Copies of this chain bind each other. A is one copy, B any other.
Amino acid sequence: MRALHHFSLQPQSRRIRIQLREKKIDVDLVAERPWERREELLRLNPAGETPVLVEDGGLTVVGAQVIGEYLEEVYPESPLLGGDARARAETRRLVAWFDDKFEREVTRNLLHEKMLRRLYGQGGPDSGAIRAGKANIRIHLDYIAWLTERRNWLAGAQFSLADIAAAAQLSVIDYMGDVDWESFPEAKHWYARVKSRPSFRPILADTWPGTQPPPHYADLDF
């Protein structure tokens, strides 16, 4: 059976799980704790990082960006990249925006400082980084509002990998209670639409030992 090695708090792992569900591709989930540097994970991916997809025939596909493209190529039903080169360029631009820029400016400052540093044995959180993450997220929520005022979904008329990448990042920050949804009603409205998709439900049901998300986290009418 096809297997996805993932880390449930990692936005890139979440976005592949959502994409697989959207495309109705069955997969066994293998939970990884990347900081443990488990031998099997290192064998599959010398970088020691999740997500890693292992196909039935043994083909190993490494990293969210690569798995994302691979799934669109090999399983063309329910396409999530866009219909022409222009649409695909816009979808990919926004996927990179959330995978790279949001990750660097928000997720590393909040998720990494508040939860991952301890797991990776790197000591306690840096309060300056947390403040920066909380300031930076406002710019991204404004950008989501700007986009959704002009388009049905982030990259255009159709639900796409851009919505998945953005919602996967935000879901992790929301798990920690760090999204001020009330100040960004358009972004909240867009996120509620993503949340209500069946593909998103398993993500919202995940919890991490010793932590608890805020009450609105899994609530579809938050």
Q: Show the binding face of A for B, using Cβ within 8 Å.
A: 46-47, 59, 61-63, 65-66, 69-70, 73-74, 85-86, 88-89, 92-93, 96-97, 101, 143
Complex Cα–Cα for A89 and B66 (A) = 6
- Contact among B59, B74, B93 with A66 in the assembled complex (CB-CB below 8 Å): B93
CB distance from A169 to the nearest CB of B (A): 15
Complex Cα–Cα for A143 and B47 (A) = 11
- Contact among B46, B73, B85, B88 with A85 in the assembled complex (CB-CB below 8 Å): B73
CB distance from A3 to the nearest CB of B (A): 15
Q: Which residue of B lies closest to A49 (CB)?
A: B101
Q: Is the interface of A mostly helix, strand, loop or mixed?
A: helix
A61 — which chain B residues lie within 8 A by C-beta?
A: 89, 93
With A69-B69, A85-B73, A101-B47 already in contact, the answer to whether A93 and B59 are too (CB < 8 A) is: no
A143 — which chain B residues lie within 8 A by C-beta?
A: 46
A62 — which chain B residues lie within 8 A by C-beta?
A: 89, 93, 96
B74 touches A85 (CB 8 A): yes
Complex Cα–Cα for A214 and B66 (A) = 36
A46 — which chain B residues lie within 8 A by C-beta?
A: 143
A96 touches B59 (CB 8 A): no
Complex Cα–Cα for A89 and B74 (A) = 11
CB distance from A144 to the nearest CB of B (A): 13
CB distance from A55 to the nearest CB of B (A): 9
A59 touches B88 (CB 8 A): no
Can you list 7 A-B contacts with CB-CB less than 8 angstroms, sorted by A residue number? Answer: A47-B97, A61-B93, A65-B96, A69-B69, A69-B92, A70-B85, A70-B92
CB distance from A5 to the nearest CB of B (A): 14
CB distance from A94 to the nearest CB of B (A): 9
Interface centre among A66, A97, A101 (most CB of B within 10 A): A66
B63 touches A88 (CB 8 A): no
B65 touches A88 (CB 8 A): no
Q: Which residue of B lies closest to A53 (CB)?
A: B89
Complex Cα–Cα for A149 and B89 (A) = 35
CB distance from A62 to the nearest CB of B (A): 5
CB distance from A208 to the nearest CB of B (A): 25
